[in-house]
Structure 1
Amino acid sequence: MKFNSKNILGIILILFSTVANAQFYIGVQAGAGNLESNVDGTLAETKMGGAVKAGYIYSFTKNIGIGSGIEFSQYKQNLSLVSPSSTLTNYEVDASGSAFIYNVTTSNYKEKQTLHAVQIPLFLQLKTNINKGIDFNFRAGVKYFLPLSYKIKATADNVNGTAYYPDFNLTIDNLPEYGIGQESSYAASGEYETKGIFMSSFEFGFTFDIGKKNSLYVAMFLEKGSGTILDQKNNQSYVGFNPTSTNDRKANGLYSTEQNAKITPTAFGLTLGWNFK
């Protein structure tokens, strides 16, 4: 479809008119932010999450409006293995180009995860007056959830990597100069590859008029993603293989062990906002 200058000017005028007649809002939300996983053998400890938001709501009638804006959110969780001492297997290639089975055993492995994302909401708002200066509000819609970064900090009391070459029926367990062997007090940082997904979003609460053009908004919210935020091309060992040393092994993370791992953000809690014109 081609757009000439008149089309573009018309769109700009419509958007400006919509925003000019809209009610703006700013706010924060806080609650439980969970990154739901289908990766077996892992145990997640959910932390408090939150977001800051700003946007506007255009009212078609006294009771119906449509809103949009921008939000910046944060999710945090601690991840560990169900068994404190576990062995996971992956395929690797050594410095000479030979393929082998890489068995990694860790003791007390823990992973601190921090996810930052930007969210673009689009929602329908229904409201009704229940008392003088008090309205009941219900919002339902979708959000485009775009991760900005998904970083991890991994630690373990001990990491032991062994190599098995099936072509030669050979097992190597202590060759540090080629990345095979033990490492104590492991600590490393890494980051998951991500992609955007859509989330369903619901809010219900109340607005309390503070003046003719200002009101306080208090609500409960629930958000649930669809699909996975991970964008992985293959399976990897959660503690990476370093072909030249048992030190400086990259932290790929437990979710990297399954290429098709499904990690979905879900959050619920309280929203506190300020509406103004």
Structure 2
Amino acid sequence: MLFSTVATAQFYVGVQTGAANLESDVAGTVAETKMGGAVKAGYIYSFTKNIGIGSGVEFSQYKQNVSLVSSSTTLTNYEVDASGSAFIYNVTTSNYKEKQTLQALQIPLFLQFKMNINKGIDFNFRGGVKYFLPVSYKIKATADNVTGTAYYPDFNLSIDDLPEYGIGQESSYSASGEYETKGILMSSFELGFTFDITKKNALYVAMFVENGYGTILDQKNNQSYVGFNPTSTNNRKANGLYSTEQNAKITPAAFGLTLGWNFK
């Protein structure tokens, strides 16, 4: 009876843009946040004149540049060479930079409160949660120089120049990679106004804030941020700075402006 006599559906499409940050707890790294954005579509069921519930689908993108706080830092990881012997792999880079691009699907579920404040103008507040599902988290890494050295503790042996076994120096490093990811929940809030354009259409303008909970990374072990190639110092995979800590917490957060079009 509620749906047949009271509830009405309102469809919407829109875009949002603003500061989009991937918050990290990985020590020794610094991120330069860039603008991000999303496109969205969905619907809202209004149970009363003021209250409704909404859902839909969104596609979002985050971008940022990540680098080491100190360019002379040496990071250590355990590796296995071509003969099956384990060793300690030390990597030092010069001017290492990592361009990250995260794309994700978001499924929102929110409660809307609206109140008419003037003819053709409504105040709107939306609050709820989103399921944030990364589609891809790609990285492009570059460095002026990469030096990888090996230490075999069983033999007390250090090697710094054996390129045919992947140990040594490489200039003008460039490689691509991708982080393994998983879905998380986000809180989401919007505060804004709708302006009636016609009887069936309205412009929606609002400020939004979103914050994730948990980590989007799904890593099985620690890895060197510049991978080890057992046959050459070239073609070393870009594992990324966040791969150096298996339990690294990388969480999306964003705020900015939403612009939408409502169909009554």
Runs of 4+, deviation exceeding 6 Å: none
Determine the structure 1 residue equivalent to 2:260: 273
Unpaired segments ≥5 residues, structure 2: none
Determine the structure 2 residue equivalent to 1:100: 87
TM-score (norm 2): 0.97
Q: Give the structure with the larger helix fraction.
A: 1
The correspondence for 1:252, drawn from 217, 226, 239, is 239
Amino acid at match of 1:72: F
**Contact in 1 for aligned 2:8/2:47 (Cα 8 Å):** no
Amino acid at match of 2:61: Q
Q: Deviations along 1:249-277, whole A, 9 cap, x unmatched?
A: 00000000000000000000000000013
SS of the residue aligned with 2:92?
strand
Aligned: 1:58 with 2:45: yes
**Contact in 2 for aligned 1:86/1:107 (Cα 8 Å):** no
CA positional deviation for 1:85: 2.1
Aligned: 1:264 with 2:251: yes
Determine the structure 1 residue equivalent to 2:97: 110
SS of the residue aligned with 1:85?
coil
How many residues matched?
A: 262
Determine the structure 2 residue equivalent to 1:130: 117
Amino acid at match of 2:221: N
Aligned: 1:192 with 2:168: no
Unpaired segments ≥5 residues, structure 1: 1-13
Residue pairs, 1:116-155, within 5 angstroms: 116-155=103-142
**Contact in 1 for aligned 2:19/2:33 (Cα 8 Å):** yes
The correspondence for 2:197, drawn from 189, 210, 215, is 210
RMSD: 1.4
CA positional deviation for 1:86: 1.7
CA positional deviation for 1:211: 1.0
TM-score (norm 1): 0.93
> Following the alignment from structure 1 to structure 2, what is the Cα–Cα distance between the partners of residues 102 and 209?
63
Q: Deviations along 1:147-175, whole A, 9 cap, x unmatched?
A: 00000000000000000000110000000
Q: Out of 191-200 and 20-29, give the one that drifted further.
A: 20-29
> Following the alignment from structure 2 to structure 1, what is the Cα–Cα distance between the partners of residues 195 and 150?
65
Amino acid at match of 2:155: F
Aligned: 1:23 with 2:10: yes
Aligned: 1:242 with 2:229: yes
